[in-house]
Every structure is written in C-alpha cells, then in structure tokens.
C-alpha cells in the first residue's frame, strides 16, 4: 500500500486538512481537503462529486487554478489575536471568541488573527491607516 500524499499536497498548496477555501476559477464554491482527497462543500454538507473535484484538483496541481484562502473565523472559546489601545499606543493582545457583536465587528474589519505573529505583521499597516502609534 502506498503512502497517502493528500496531507502533503494540501500543505504544498498552502492549506491545511479541513481548511475551507475557494478556487478562483470556480467562483463561490467552497472546497476543503480531507485525508481522502478534495471535497466540495454544499450548505455545510459535503458532496463528493468526483468529476468536479477531480477537475479542480487537476487544475490546482498543474498550476492552472489558484486557491483563494477564506478569512479564518474562530469557534466559541478559541483564542484569537487582535489590537488594543494600551497607554496611548496600539498593541497586539489575545482574546477568547465569544460570538458577541464586538467579536464580529473585529472579524468584519479583518482584525482577527489566528496567531500573534500574523497580528504583529498586520499592525504597522493598520496603525498607519488609522493614524495611531503602535508598539510590537
């Protein structure tokens, strides 16, 4: 029996197993890699339409198609990173996702990050746009 290469393929394409994404050339359709291969997602359900997913996978592997990453959205209780005003400067801080309006406001603004490093990388640009000082 051969080794399952799907996890390595997903990693080479810049996504994780289970991470939802779109394919630029396929519009609004949502896909994800599972250990069994590429899956097409419909209304929070999975449909394995081999013709569609095989063509999409072939296009991704050949470089003809491009993955469009979707914004990460935490689940209730997940830690995420965002910005906070502290002593007159914006800084990066962690919070817990509670699914409350202020969480969604940060998400809609694009200020919810999976890692502290991602938030630190984004802070200089955001601070410049907002005209505020910041500290990393």
What is the rounded average pLDDT of the residues 108-128? 94
Dist. CA 120–CA 112, nearest whole Å: 11
**For 22-65, what is each residue's pLDDT tens digit?**
999 888 889 999 998 999 887 666 665 565 688 899 999 999 99
Of 103, 101, 102, 96, the C-alpha closest to 78 is: 96
pTM reported for the whole predicted model: 0.63
pLDDT digits (tens, 9 = 90+) for 67-116: 999 878 899 999 999 999 999 899 999 999 999 999 999 999 999 999 99
| 8 Å CB contact between 23 and 14 | no
């Amino acid at each position: 029996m051969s080794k399952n290469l799907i996890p390595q393929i997903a990693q080479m394409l810049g996504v994780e197993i289970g991470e939802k994404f779109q394919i630029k050339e396929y519009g609004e359709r949502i896909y994800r890699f599972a250990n069994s291969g590429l899956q097409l997602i419909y209304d929070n359900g999975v449909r394995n339409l081999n013709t569609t997913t095989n063509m999409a996978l072939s296009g991704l592997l050949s470089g003809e198609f491009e993955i469009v990453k979707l914004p990460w959205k935490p689940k209730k209780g997940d830690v995420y990173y965002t910005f906070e005003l502290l002593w007159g400067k914006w800084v990066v801080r962690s919070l817990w996702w509670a699914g409350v309006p202020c969480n969604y406001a940060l998400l809609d603004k694009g200020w919810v990050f999976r890692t502290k490093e991602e938030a630190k990388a984004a802070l200089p640009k955001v601070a410049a746009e907002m005209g505020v000082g910041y500290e990393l």
